[in-house]
């Protein structure tokens, strides 16, 4: 690999290889010193249509000049990295558009790009910041006509456009007063959200929704806030309103959702699922202007749903399901094709195994027979002929063991008997109807028999002995690939993540994919249970950064929660698990 020491030598190489075959671009791999930063060409693409080349720039802080206050805490560094990623990505996209698609040649020629964030402020490896350096990772489509190098265009791109991006995106002095204020707001917004989330346990609540929050989104595929039509700012019912003092905004008021069993009820299209969706996303911080900046949820909250067809391996679902036909063992339950009820039972058990303390459930995405057996069905089908103990008969037991539930309901009034708090959404306005719900429950008894008994949930200790995709001598099986937020491909196996709804960024999917590969290669010992393995992985990432799981240097990761990593692991069809019996 040829290494040039200055940007002038890099320009010389590009002129020398002008109009040669595309493979000659390999000559530019290496490290180059530019005025004010170092450029690393880590990987050169094989042809103009291949994935683009991977570049890095490292800008010392005496040049970047970001103020000490922006680096003072982990929260601030994450928010600064997120802000710089957004700025670099937007400027690179504008530069590429300005050059015109295909203006610099064939395929991906002339395009500079960086991971494009969504509405969440996440820990990323696209821009790494500390007290000494700012490192940005991006891709470059090296210019070519067909498979012939366009050296002059490449020189203009790498030695002209890249330095301009570095100056405009990664140097604090280049920010206008308005842009510097936006950076400060970005950091303070994340800091306030983290402070609010840390305050939840002391307030006895599992989630907080600020007064004035805008919860509706533009569409099912656009997470930006609804900005037209009947947009109703959130306003807490007085009985559920709490006040929290934050480090930057000071005192804020909003609705606190208490520990225990909370029902969100109301007519169709009145905002029930919209509220639950905001609570679900509240495990992450949000950018200024999102509308949900101060909607925060316990970091141990998990969305639960039925998931027909998923694989289940050695789960103890007997808390919910027993006495299956033909003697199937629900204490060590495995299947390649779970039903709605068995999948929802497995999802709950696995989430609690991974540390979940709050279950978020929507009636619309649940298995009906898992959620309820009403009085008439109890009379028609005797309990000894029904394997399922429905969720309604277990939710109080879970609450007593410290597992809260927030449940959206539109059709099953039986749950009024087991609720601690009932919130009714009326034209997107929440009303505390707990007292009225108790009156209704007393006035209209269902006659339903409790079927739960006094059994408590037991979480089995499951020990993975193999993930099944990194077979010795089969290098192909260790390759990983992420498909948006929907799926991970590990070797020849695919993990379906469409129903793991709190994976919100493709960078998280990419991180999970490589984390599982790393887990099998480095951490799996046939002795540690799943939570212990995920904890070990977390310690490795905390000590060495997300790059510890990466097969090569790139900037495509966002940090995923341990709960989502465990969810992906549990959906791997090739996993082999030894359960303690």
Residue 322 is assigned to a structural domain of this protein: no
Here the tokens at position 499 are 């129903």
The pLDDT, as a whole number, for residue 551 is 93
Last residue of a domain, one of 148, 175, 202: 175
Does the pLDDT at position 555 exceed 70?
Answer: yes
When the pLDDT of each residue in the chain is averaged and rounded to a whole number, the result is: 93
In a domain, 42, yes or no: yes
Q: How far apart are CA 111 and CA 165, in angstroms?
A: 13
Residue 253 pLDDT exceeds 50: yes
Question: Given a cut of 50, is residue 569 above it in pLDDT?
Answer: yes
CB 298 within 8 A of CB 358: yes
Distances (CA, A) of 517 to 162, 326, 386: 33, 37, 41
Query: Which residues span the domain enclosing 529?
Result: 462-579
Name residue, tokens 């305050």. 199
| pLDDT interval class at 2 (50, 70, 90) | very low
* Sign of the C-alpha dihedral computed for residues 266, 269, 275 and 276 taken in this order: positive
- Residue 213: enclosing H or E segment and its boundaries? none
Whether 365 maps to a domain, the answer reads no
pLDDT band at residue 324 using 50, 70 and 90 as cut-offs: confident
- What number of CA atoms fall less than 13 Å from residue 189's CA on the CB side? 26
- H-only helix segments in 157-262: 162-170, 177-203
User: Residues 169, 81: contact at Cβ < 8 Å?
Assistant: no
Distance of CA 110 to the CA centre of its chain: 31
Distance from CA of residue 496 to its chain's centroid? 15
Res 475: pLDDT: 40
Query: Which residue bears the tokens 């690999």?
Result: 1
Residue 262 lies inside a defined structural domain of this protein: no
Domain boundary (145, 175, 205) is at 175
- The CA distance from 99 to 96, in Å, is 5
Q: What is the pLDDT of residue 581?
A: 55
Which residues are CB-neighbours of 41 under 8 A, at least 6 positions away?
A: 28, 29, 30, 31, 32, 53, 54, 55
The pLDDT tens digits for 141-169 are 999 999 999 999 999 999 999 999 999 99
User: What digits encode the pLDDT tens for the residues 73-90?
Assistant: 999 999 999 999 999 999
pLDDT at 232 over 80: yes
H or E element, residue 335:
strand 333-335
Long-range CB pairs of 374-380 (<8 Å, 24+ gap) are 374/412, 374/414, 374/446, 374/448, 375/446, 375/447, 375/448, 375/449, 378/448, 378/449, 378/451
Per the CB < 8 A criterion, the answer to whether 506 and 538 are in contact is no
Three-class SS state of 214: coil
Cβ contact 530:353 at 8 Å: yes
Per-residue pLDDT, averaged over 418-429, amounts to 97
- Give the total number of structural domains in the chain: 2
- State the pLDDT at residue 131: 97
Say whether pLDDT at 481 is over 50. yes
Q: With contact defined as beta carbons under 8 Å apart, do 502 and 560 qualify?
A: no
Could you say which of 175, 193, 212 is where a domain stops?
175
For residue 116, tell me if it sits in a domain: yes
Give the whole-angstrom CA distance, residue 173 versus residue 373. 65
Collapsed DSSP state (helix, strand, coil) of residue 565: helix
Residue 98 pLDDT level (bands cut at 50, 70, 90): low
Which residue matches tokens 């990295």? 81
Q: Kindly tell me if the per-residue pLDDT of 580 is higher than 70.
A: no
Q: What pLDDT score does 472 carry?
A: 39
Mean pLDDT for 461-473 is: 78
- With beta carbons less than 8 A apart as the criterion, state whether 210 and 233 touch: no
By C-alpha distance, which of 296, 381, 398 is closest to 345?
398
Question: Where does residue 209 rank: exposed (0-12), middle (13-18), buried (19+ CB within 10 A)?
Answer: buried
Question: Residue 100: what pLDDT?
Answer: 55
What is the pLDDT confidence band of residue 468, given thresholds at 50, 70 and 90?
Answer: confident
Q: For residues 567 and 425, what is the distance between their CA atoms, to the nearest angstrom?
A: 31
Contact 361, 415 (CB under 8 A): no
Pairing type for strands 421-426 and 429-432 reads antiparallel
Q: In the chain, what percentage of residues exceed pLDDT 90?
A: 87
Banded pLDDT at 490 (limits 50, 70, 90): confident
In a domain, 220, yes or no: no
Distance (Å, whole) CA 317 – CA 101:
54
Give the pLDDT score at 96. Answer: 80
| Residue 471 pLDDT greater than 80, yes or no | no
pLDDT attached to residue 211:
98
Bridge-based pairing of strands 144-145 and 112-113 is: unpaired
Asked whether residue 409 is domain-assigned, the answer is: no
pTM, whole model, 2 decimals? 0.94
Flag whether 289 is in a domain. Answer: no
The pLDDT of 283-308, averaged and rounded, is 98
Q: What is the pLDDT of residue 477?
A: 45
Q: What is the pLDDT of residue 435?
A: 97
- Which residues, at least 6 apart from 47, have a Cβ–Cβ distance to it below 8 Å? 22, 107, 144, 147
Distance CA 80, CA 478 (A): 34
What does R_g of the chain's alpha carbons equal in angstroms?
27
Q: Are 327 and 292 in contact (CB under 8 A)?
A: no
């Amino acid at each position: 690999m040829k290494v040039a020491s200055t940007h002038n030598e890099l320009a010389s190489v590009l002129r020398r290889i002008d109009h040669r075959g595309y493979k000659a671009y390999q000559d530019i791999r290496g490290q180059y010193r530019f005025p004010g930063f170092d450029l690393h060409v880590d990987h050169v693409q094989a042809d103009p249509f291949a994935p683009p080349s991977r570049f890095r720039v490292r800008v010392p802080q005496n040049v970047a000049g970001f103020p000490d206050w922006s680096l003072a805490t982990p929260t601030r560094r994450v928010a600064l990295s997120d802000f710089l990623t957004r700025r670099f990505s937007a400027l690179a996209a504008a530069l590429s558009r300005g050059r015109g698609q295909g203006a610099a040649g064939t395929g991906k020629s002339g395009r500079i790009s960086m991971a494009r964030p969504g509405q969440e402020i996440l820990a990323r490896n696209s821009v790494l910041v500390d007290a000494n350096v700012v490192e940005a990772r991006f891709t470059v489509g090296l210019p070519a006509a067909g498979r012939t190098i366009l050296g002059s265009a490449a020189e203009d791109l790498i030695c002209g456009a890249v330095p301009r991006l570095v100056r405009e995106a990664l140097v604090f002095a280049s920010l206008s007063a308005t842009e510097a204020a936006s950076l400060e707001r970005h950091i303070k917004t994340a800091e306030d959200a983290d402070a609010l989330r840390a305050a939840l346990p002391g307030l006895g609540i599992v989630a907080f929704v600020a007064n004035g929050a805008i919860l509706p989104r533009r569409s099912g595929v656009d997470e930006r806030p609804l900005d037209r039509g009947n947009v109703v700012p959130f306003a807490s019912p007085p009985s559920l309103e709490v006040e929290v003092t934050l480090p930057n905004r000071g005192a804020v008021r909003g609705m606190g959702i208490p520990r225990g069993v909370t029902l969100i009820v109301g007519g169709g299209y009145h905002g029930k699922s919209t509220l639950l969706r905001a609570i679900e996303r509240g495990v992450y911080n949000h950018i200024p202007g999102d509308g949900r900046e101060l909607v925060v949820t316990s970091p141990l909250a998990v969305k639960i749903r039925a998931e027909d067809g998923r694989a289940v391996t050695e789960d103890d679902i007997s808390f919910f399901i027993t006495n299956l036909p033909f003697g199937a063992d629900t204490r060590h339950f495995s299947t390649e094709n779970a039903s709605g009820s068995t999948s929802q039972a497995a999802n709950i058990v696995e989430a609690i195994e991974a540390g979940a303390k709050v279950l978020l459930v929507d009636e619309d995405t649940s298995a009906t027979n898992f959620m309820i057996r009403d009085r008439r069905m109890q009379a028609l089908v005797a309990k000894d002929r029904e394997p399922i103990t429905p969720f309604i008969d277990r939710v109080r037991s879970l609450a007593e063991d410290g597992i809260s539930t927030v449940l959206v309901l539109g059709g099953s009034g039986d749950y009024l008997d087991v609720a601690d708090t009932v919130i009714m959404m009326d034209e997107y306005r929440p009303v505390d109807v707990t007292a009225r719900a108790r009156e209704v429950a007393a006035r209209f008894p269902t006659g339903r028999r409790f079927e739960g008994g006094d059994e408590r949930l037991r979480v089995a200790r499951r020990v993975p002995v193999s993930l099944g995709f990194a077979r010795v001598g089969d290098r192909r099986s260790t390759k990983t690939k992420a498909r948006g937020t929907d799926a991970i491909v590990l070797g020849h196996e695919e993990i379906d993540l469409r129903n793991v709804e709190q994976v919100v960024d493709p960078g998280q999917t990419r991180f999970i994919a490589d984390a599982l590969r790393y887990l099998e290669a480095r951490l799996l010992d046939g002795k540690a249970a799943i939570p212990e393995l995920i904890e070990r992985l977390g310690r490795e990432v905390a000590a060495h950064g997300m790059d510890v799981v990466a097969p090569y240097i790139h900037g495509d990761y966002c940090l995923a929660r341990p709960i989502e990593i465990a969810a992906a692991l549990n959906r791997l069809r090739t996993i082999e698990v030894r359960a303690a019996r």
